[in-house]
Amino acid sequence: MPAVAGVSMRIDAEVPAMNFFAQQEIARRQTRRMLVLFSLAVLAIVAAINVIVVLALGLADATAERTPVVDPMVVAGVSAVVLAVIGLATLYRVATLRGGGSAVAAQMGATPVANDTTDFAYRRLRNIVEEIAIASGVPVPSIHVLEQETSINAFASGYTSADAAVTVTRGCLDKLTRDELQGVIAHEFSHVLNGDMRLNIRLMGIAFGILVIAIIGRKMTQTAGYSRSRDSAGIALVGIALLAVGYIGVFFARLIKASIARQREYLADASAVQFTRQSDGIAGALKKIGGLAEGSKLTASDGEEVAHMLFGDGVGYSALFATHPRLTDRIRRLQPSFDPAEFAEIAADWSNPHQVAEDDDSASIARFAPASSHRAAAGHAAPLPSSLDEIAVTPQQVVAQVGNPDTADYAAASSLSMSLADELVDAAHSRADAMAVVLALLIGRDVHVRERQLGLVTRYFDERTSERVVELQAHAQRLHPMQRLPLAALAFPALRRHARPQLQVLVIALKQLIDADGRVTLDEYCLATLIRIQVIDALDPSASRVLGRITLAEVAAELADLFSVLAARGHDDAESARRAYALGMNEVLPRQLPTYAPPEDWTRALDRALPRLDLLAPAGKQCVILGLTHAISADGRVSVSEAELLRTVCAALHCPLPPILQPGA
């Protein structure tokens, strides 16, 4: 983990610096562990209910003066019914969350933040989220606020980064400074990048499946209370027994959720520090949770189901069920000199509103001035390169960047974002214009090609969209190649609010736009493919695969196509391309090097290869990225096109890469 000013050495000592691929392996192990533990809990519930049924039948036999007999068919039937109830309840709960992160936020009663909001607090939140998303190399997530919650809390939800949602409480907006809010959001992005969100949704589904037994028991007890039949007492007893068994299952479900969630919080805190360049922000947010009466507890929303997803303890669990480490422990990992007496000082300061400082200083407020003045400073940003040949890119450094942005990535994201034209940013934030922005990015410079492309836009979309594409394409053509993907990332929240049929048409139109002149450039392919991958993930987030299982040897043909295309497109002569190919392939298949043979239809070859490569295990994906970096840096020069293809491959493998490759040590 790179050194960051103001970060204590204790963070490095107690929180291991682990790369993205190691985190994916941990997520996989935790998923297996979760399934094993929940399976044991379910089996215990089945056994307990069978005991209840056998005792009830035995009691009935004794009352009828018959010899009690345990019927194996009854036991099997009861077991099948209980398993079916838990399984169906789990599937039902997961199905209600198929919409991804926004579905979770909506079920919590959160208010979506409009892309073009003029509210100061909302704009501040949106700017922070957008900058962190661009720096991380992922689409901007949807943003939501729990308006009725005055406490300080937040959570990230979804299956992948393409359908992620970040939700904060009103207390975060009202009580945190910009640095503190940035620390909270960076913490949540760690969960987005490290594969925690998918695991969290699965936890919600399985825990609900166990809870439903208690719900059935409660309903039976209530029904018996209203009934006057002779059997009501027996029904009540069975209901009470099911209620008891169900809540014993809930007890174990809470233990499992707590054991899985706690250690991930330490990692997310450390990642937030690395990303935001200082520990004061996230530490300040944690201190306010400890010092203010509202703390982090949710009151207007049901925090039980999402307790393991929250930034702070939203329920008030005892230590046994705590889904988060102790607050003082988290703060001391960030600031070893922390004294809990600071909680009382914060409480005293906030008890007198007149003594509370303004939320942001003048420098922070300047970031939320009208867009024209904000972006006027872009002229002072470092110029964007036409190639990266001045940077000594190393494979290890590129791998370290994947899913693990740091301060340099944040600075690059700010520079890229601020240098975008106001017209394009405003259009990207607009639901009506977001699709036109994406289409405008693919409109060519040649007059005849542009006419054919605009004809396709008119065929597939309405007249207004076609007119907006014409207006925006002049601005889009002035973009630096490295600005196009950040602009697409800004447009993504508005883009995915369109209906499924419209997004499916967009995917088809993108393909035809880049084919309009009969040839496809690497830049066109990368942009269209990135957008297509993200749109497809957003259309069916629960079906997107992040953790594969196949080995490198099983995708040898796909690897040969990918590395051949990269080498051929990144080098001027065949001999240099062959050397780059061999260098890269030696990293992934050292014992069975396929012959260098660039495919004639390279776009179709990549379209076939990338979905297969996404099925690789995390360690295999890491090898692929190492090999690709070896190949593109073989000649000591990394072109923007090569870097964008590398980023496209990373996106297809669900391994987000920040916008600018950083030099090695």
Which residues carry out catalysis? 188
Pairing of strands 165-169, 111-112: unpaired
- The first and second tokens of residue 656, run together, are 């987000």
The helix/strand/coil state of 255 is: helix
Question: Alpha-carbon distance 353 to 152, whole Å?
Answer: 17
User: What is the rounded distance in angstroms from the CA atom of residue 334 to the CA atom of residue 317?
Assistant: 23
The candidate with the shortest Cα–Cα distance to 374, out of 198, 127, 202, is 127
Beta strands 111-112 and 154-157, pairing class: unpaired
Given a contact cutoff of 8 angstroms between Cβ atoms, the answer to whether 21 and 621 are in contact is yes
C-beta neighbour count of 405 within 10 angstroms? 30
Phi, psi of 169 (to 5 degrees): -85, 160
Rounded-to-integer distance, Cα 156 and Cα 185, Å: 9
Rounded Cα–Cα distance for residues 379 and 364 (Å): 19
Instruction: Give the phi and the psi of residue 170 in degrees, each rounded to 5.
Output: -60, -30
For residue 653, count other CB atoms closer than 10 A to its CB.
25
Angstrom distances, CA of residue 207 to CA of 201, 233, 239: 10, 30, 20
Spatial CA neighbour of 617 closest among 556, 533, 546, 558: 546
Question: Cβ atoms within 10 A of the Cβ of 248, count?
Answer: 17
Nearest in space to 237 (alpha carbons), one of 475, 57, 100? 57
Looking at residue 624, its amino acid is V
Q: Spell out where 60-141 has E strands.
A: 111-112
Query: Which residues are CB-contacts of 547 (< 8 A; sequence separation ≥ 6)?
Result: 24, 27, 28, 31, 195, 617, 618
What are the two backbone dihedrals, phi and then psi, of residue 145, each rounded to the nearest 5 degrees? -130, 130
- Give the DSSP letter of residue 639: B
Helices 618-632, 20-63: axis angle to 10 degrees equals 170
What single string gives the DSSP state of each residue in 604-629? HHHHHHHHHHTTB-HHHHHHHHHHHH
Q: Are 242 and 213 in contact (CB under 8 A)?
A: yes
CA distance 609 to 615: 10
Phi, psi at residue 516, to the nearest 5°?
A: -60, -30
